[in-house]
Amino acid sequence: MVYYTKCDKETEECGRALAQRLSDAGCRRALIAMRGEMGVGKTAFTRGFASYFGIDGVRSPTFTVVNEYHGKANIYHFDMYRITDGDDLYSIGYDDYIEKDGYSIIEWSENIEEYLPSDAIFVKISRTVGDESKREIVIDYDNSCI
Ligand SMILES: Nc1ncnc2c1ncn2[C@@H]1O[C@H](COP(=O)(O)OP(=O)(O)OP(=O)(O)O)[C@@H](O)[C@H]1O
Ligand SMILES: [Mg+2]
């Protein structure tokens, strides 16, 4: 699925729509692997996703690696920008988190490619040429839940 957005609110809306889709499908646990360069809108997408579950104020977890939110669903929001190997992942409890009830949303998932499960939902956000605030969002998955 491909979407185009023109501002951060529209990207949030796109995240919210994915949350609704998972929720409607009864899919209580999923890993969303976000890809895309700095400042492209990964946190905006996550903010919208979380808002569907009544969670407000999602901000980038850059300095903490993972932020945990508990609303109508649990959300584990990771920023893997500084994660470079499996030892780092182990020390933040990644393996345990992704087995928990709820949604793991991972910024900079490019950095942990080999540790992503095969049923991950990939969300790739890219800038488009010519328009400063236009984004292309590609959502791609092989997940029997949705
Ligand atoms: N269509 C758009 N969608 C999302 N954000 C947009 C869009 N157009 C402009 N922006 C701006 O781009 C920025 C996106 O910031 P955001 O923190 O969501 O990016 P990020 O991908 O999480 O960055 P980082 O890699 O630093 O974590 C915001 O300043 C936002 O206002
Ligand atoms: Mg971010």
SS3 labels along 45-69: HHHHHHHCCCCCCCCCCCCCCEEEE
Instruction: Give the environment of ion ligand 2: residues with CB less than 5 A.
Output: 42-43, 60, 107
What's the structural domain count of the chain?
Answer: 1
1 located within any domain: no
Give pLDDT tens digits for 30-59: 999 999 999 999 999 999 999 999 999 999
145 located within any domain: no
Give pLDDT tens digits for 93-121: 999 999 999 999 999 999 999 999 999 99
Inter-CA distances, 126 with 1, 7, 8, 9, 138, Å: 14, 13, 13, 16, 9
Domain that holds residue 105: 7-127
63 pocket-lining for ligand 1 (C-beta < 6 Å): no
pLDDT bucket at 64, cuts 50 / 70 / 90 = confident
2 pocket-lining for ligand 1 (C-beta < 6 Å): no
77 located within any domain: yes
Report the alpha-carbon distance of residue 142 to residue 146 in Å, rounded: 9
86 located within any domain: yes
What is the sign, positive or negative, of the torsion defined by CA atoms of 95, 16, 8, 70? negative
Taking the complete model, does pTM exceed 0.85, yes or no? yes
